[in-house]
Structure 1
Amino acid sequence: MMNQDFWSPIWLSLEVNGVASILVFVIALVAAWWMKGHSFYGKSAVETLLILPLVLPPTVVGFGLLVLMGRKSWIGQAMEWLFHQPILFTWWAAVIAAVVVAFPLVYQTLKNGFESVDRELEDAARSMGAGEWQVFRYITLPLSWRSLLTGYVLGFARGMGEFGATLMVAGNIPGKTQTIPTAIYIAVESGDTRLAAYWVASTVLLSFALLAIVQRMKIRS
């Protein structure tokens, strides 16, 4: 049972979400820090837009990505120029889907972490001549590292479980875009419930381990 066909979706999911979790963490880090330090008209609307994928059905998110990354879209054309091929139904399409669906959760976690830092400490550092980068590096980051680590772990776990958006923009190509959720779906559809059960068990164990890390950090904080 533990042959290449079994391990392929697992390794692919780990690869896709390994890259996606780094990308989403960096993007969410910049967005959360910038939104924390700026006030402007329409800020609440922008923040609502940033976390909107969190409440939308995955198929809706997938359809939006399908339109944005299609050849008729300037974004899709730019991606085709960058990757030298259409982006849809490729490994990178699976990465982008994971980034989009995980972003709201990571962004909200990081933003809450930044906002939990005592503003008086940051203002005191600024009053002594520290620049924004120094405040961020020496005050904000050390005092919010648990939230940052939690956000990264939750983003990775969310990406691992993504199905709808990934299926729409990356498809289910074995060895190329077939992640664990899509592999489980196909196995059940074809009647191979035993293989699906093994993949389910693997996913549950991995998710349990990731959530255990988050819970342990909450207890220590």
Structure 2
Amino acid sequence: MMVELIEPIMLSIQVACLASLTVIILGTIVGRVMARAQFKGKVIIETLLLLPLVLPPSVVGFVLLVTFGANSPIGEFFEWLFNQPVVFTWWAAVLASTVVAFPLMYQSTKTGFEAVDTEIEDAARVDGASEKKVFTKISLPLAFKAIVTGSILSFARALGEFGATLIVAGNIPGKTQTIPTAIYIAMDSGNMETAWILVTVMIFISFMMLLIVYYIKPGK
């Protein structure tokens, strides 16, 4: 009983942490670039970046499965590189969680960087600051709350990912079974006690994440 509970919880946290770390780095960089860049086709690029947010998880999972499956060039490359396929491993769960969580991080950081006064950045450049210093000493601190908000929401989204993960990573107990897939299996098998415990864990974690987001909003 304890193993059935602990394994998916620990794996979910591990997957969510790695996925969140990835989207924090990528989301912050891409959000900063898109907040300041002006070019033709920007709307198309932004739409593609946000697409996983509105697509059904099954569609995201299908695309990932086709893209990283054993029959695809990318899948073959990763299988050669790591001597094992990516799909149906816990790394596939990280990949799925990263893809579905990225739009939340990107949107939050982009909004945060857009709110930074460009005159302050320009004044720092006039004073001789490099682009790196402008970013690390001015832009990043001023957009910090938005970055933290995006990080928390991305973690919560990665933790609760189900559809795409089920398709691309499967539901292997002790290997790829996360909390959402464990809840699904517990319900399907009539093990309502396990389902209720896992549901309670998810509700508690999600509630705490949203509570933190509320208290770090501007003006709080």
Question: TM over 0.5: same fold?
Answer: yes
Shift of 1:193: 1.4
RMSD: 1.1
State the match for 1:136 in structure 2.
Answer: 135
Most deviating of 118-127 and 47-56 = 118-127
State the match for 2:178 in structure 1.
Answer: 179
Q: What is the rounded CA distance, in whole Å, between the counterparts of 1:72 and 1:132 in structure 2?
A: 43
Q: What is the rounded CA distance, in whole Å, between the counterparts of 1:66 and 1:191 in structure 2?
A: 29
- Paired AA for residue 210 in structure 2: L
Shift of 1:33: 1.4
TM-score after normalising by structure 1: 0.96
Q: Mark the runs of 5 or more structure 1 residues left unpaired by the alignment.
A: none
State the match for 1:76 in structure 2.
Answer: 75
State the match for 2:45 in structure 1.
Answer: 46
Q: What is the rounded CA distance, in whole Å, between the counterparts of 1:102 and 1:177 in structure 2?
A: 18
State the match for 1:118 in structure 2.
Answer: 117
Most deviating of 32-41 and 92-101 = 32-41
Q: What is the rounded CA distance, in whole Å, between the counterparts of 1:7 and 1:26 in structure 2?
A: 29
Q: What is the rounded CA distance, in whole Å, between the counterparts of 2:21 and 2:209 in structure 1?
A: 16
Q: What is the rounded CA distance, in whole Å, between the counterparts of 2:48 and 2:177 in structure 1?
A: 29
State the match for 1:195 in structure 2.
Answer: 194
Q: What is the rounded CA distance, in whole Å, between the counterparts of 1:66 and 1:15 in structure 2?
A: 21
Q: What is the rounded CA distance, in whole Å, between the counterparts of 1:121 and 1:82 in structure 2?
A: 46
TM-score after normalising by structure 2: 0.97
1:1-221 alignment runs, 5 A limit: 1=1, 3-218=2-217, 220-221=219-220
- Paired AA for residue 42 in structure 2: K
Q: Aligned residues, how many?
A: 220
Q: Mark the runs of 5 or more structure 2 residues left unpaired by the alignment.
A: none
Q: What is the rounded CA distance, in whole Å, between the counterparts of 1:168 and 1:218 in structure 2?
A: 35
1:184-204 per-position Cα deviation (integer Å, ceiling 9, x unaligned): 000111111121011000100
Aligned residues: percent identity? 55
Partner of 1:130, secondary structure, is: coil
- Paired AA for residue 35 in structure 1: M
- Paired AA for residue 61 in structure 2: G
Moved over 2 A (4+): none
Equivalent residues of 2:145, 2:218 under 8 A apart: no
Partner of 1:101, secondary structure, is: helix
